[in-house]
Homo-oligomer: A and B are copies of this chain.
Amino acid sequence: MGGMARLDALADRLSRIVGAGSVLTDPAELATYDCDGLTYHRATPGIVVLPDTAEQIAAIVRACAADGVPYVARGSGTGLSGGALPRTDGVLIVTSRMRRVLEVDAANQRAVVEPGVINLDVTRAARPYGYYFAPDPSSQQVCSIGGNVAENSGGAHCLKYGFTVNHVLACEVVTPDGEIVELTEGPGYDLLGAFVGSEGTLGITTKVTVRLTRLPETVQTLLAGFDTIERAGEAVSAIIAAGVVPAAIEMMDALSIEAAEAAVRCGYPPGAGAVLIVELDGPASEVDSQFARVKELCAEAFEIRVAADDTERGLIWRGRKSAFAAVGRISPDYIVQDGVIPRTTLPEVLARIDALSREHGVRVANVFHAGDGNLHPLVLFDGAEPGAGERAEEVSGKILDLCIEHGGSITGEHGVGIDKAKHMPRMFTAEDLDTMQMVRCAFDPAGLCNPGKVYPTPRLCGEVPGRRTGVHPLVESGKADLF
């Protein structure tokens, strides 16, 4: 049976599982699902299916497995590494209809939600009880919890509050063999920890129990304008060295400020070489005294503004949160890079990025979570100019080299996805990657669950167990019954 005929037959079977109205096969409809937030990579899915329940997802996965058809799960599709890029020969399982908040248990500080629930809606459900959901990706108004789990999403406040993995207490998961299992913290292996951030390669989340965080008594936010990025960097070091743990410390350089001004008129200090946004939250007594300390430590700033209320705080954040999109105002095209470096190497790496930019004649706007060394350089180019895209790609790749060279990582929060799989061997040895793939093969021996993502050289799982030696010699010799 040819590929198309096979997909047609599968679409019929999927219709019997979810109802015909929840299976899309019309090319025009399929085309709207051809990418996630990383629009550079595109592929029209063979079939789109919109399930309502975990049992339906389990049945869909079993149907795909029976036909040997690959599948990809996605929620809102806001990811920035192409982790939810569909397969033209496969099924895209979209969880956006599964958006019920099933329970808010304020006394035990947890909520249970379906994977399609929007990040900010968890906070909306919890706020009446005095709680919120701490992970706050910039896309929090549209991104969904299932995707947050898949990518282990962070956000501006993960410096103090940690990533999604620190706020997920349990996941119900459909495994690649179509079973529904519960992954929790507690006895046995912490497969929950391995599942969160596995970028859709180990199964599909169908229910998530999240930790709720107490709304802070007070929030204080300042915006400090510095002449140079070096001075802003020194202020960051001084704040951290003083033992202050801000909820967030964000930095933007002149070019990203220019973009944000053009887009949302956030009114940042004119002429700044860099701005810092520093936010403290917690008990009023602590915040007030530490905020005074932070202001002292920003003494080199030529201007410091303190948000007087939530509206002013919102305005300060608007510039930062819109920064990626805003770059579109000053450049027709851009690449959002995502890398990590040890905080102490910040000044040196920034100087090297600046040198790279001048050397290659490519503009780079820097926006980053300065407190935890997570850089988001925006590499600008004009796709209409021949060779410009390639030059931008080259600079973007060299920035990752800098991160690795300084003991950092190729991704802080956007994930590896399809975009950075090729960079994995620059961070990990063959043995390290084999160890990861052993786990993937244990879950998904047929390699149908979001294949082609994360790992640079997908291989037949038969090659992996026992690794370079094939099947473990003890299994082969029958000695494995010793235990």
Contact = CB atoms under 8 A, between A and B. Distances in A.
A328 interface: no
Interface in A20-61: none
B191 A197 contact: no
Which of A182, A183, A189, A416 has the most B CB atoms < 10 Å from its CB?
A: A189
A300 interface: no
B344 A175 contact: no
Contacts of A148: none
Contact of A191 (B66, B217, B340, B435): B435
Contacts of A344: 107-108
A347 interface: no
Given A190-B196, A432-B181, A343 B175 contact: no
Nearest to A482: B68
Interface stretch (A375-383, A389-397, A466-474): A466-474
B438 A442 contact: yes
Given A181-B429, A194-B193, A68 B411 contact: no
Interface residues of A, number: 95
A283 to B, nearest CB: 5
Nearest to A412: B186
A447 interface: yes
Interface stretch (A250-258, A303-311, A457-465): A457-465
Contacts of A356: none
Which of A166, A282, A283, A481 has the most B CB atoms < 10 Å from its CB?
A: A283
Contacts of A479: 68, 446
Interface string A422-448: 001001110111011011111101111
Contacts of A196: 190
Interface in A174-200: 175, 177, 179-183, 186-191, 193-194, 196-198
A183 B439 CA distance: 13
A432 B344 CA distance: 43
Contacts of A447: 480, 482-483
A475 interface: yes
A439 B189 contact: yes
A375 to B, nearest CB: 14
Nearest to A3: B482
B475 A458 contact: no
A367 to B, nearest CB: 21
B474 A445 contact: yes
Contacts of A283: 286, 289-290
Contacts of A147: none
Interface in A133-185: 152, 165-166, 175, 177, 179-183
Interface in A259-293: 282-283, 285-286, 288-290
A438 B452 CA distance: 22
A406 to B, nearest CB: 11
A319 interface: no
A37 B175 CA distance: 37
A362 interface: no
A409 interface: yes
A65 B483 contact: no
6 tightest A-B CB contacts, nearest first: A193-B193, A286-B286, A451-B483, A446-B474, A68-B479, A285-B289
6 contacts: A179-B431, A186-B410, A187-B411, A188-B424, A190-B198, A439-B442
Interface of A: 65-66, 68-70, 89, 107-108, 130, 152, 165-166, 175, 177, 179-183, 186-191, 193-194, 196-198, 202, 214, 217, 241, 243, 245, 282-283, 285-286, 288-290, 340, 342-344, 409-411, 415-416, 420, 424, 427-429, 431-433, 435-436, 438-443, 445-448, 451-452, 454-455, 458, 460-462, 465-467, 469, 471-475, 477, 479-483
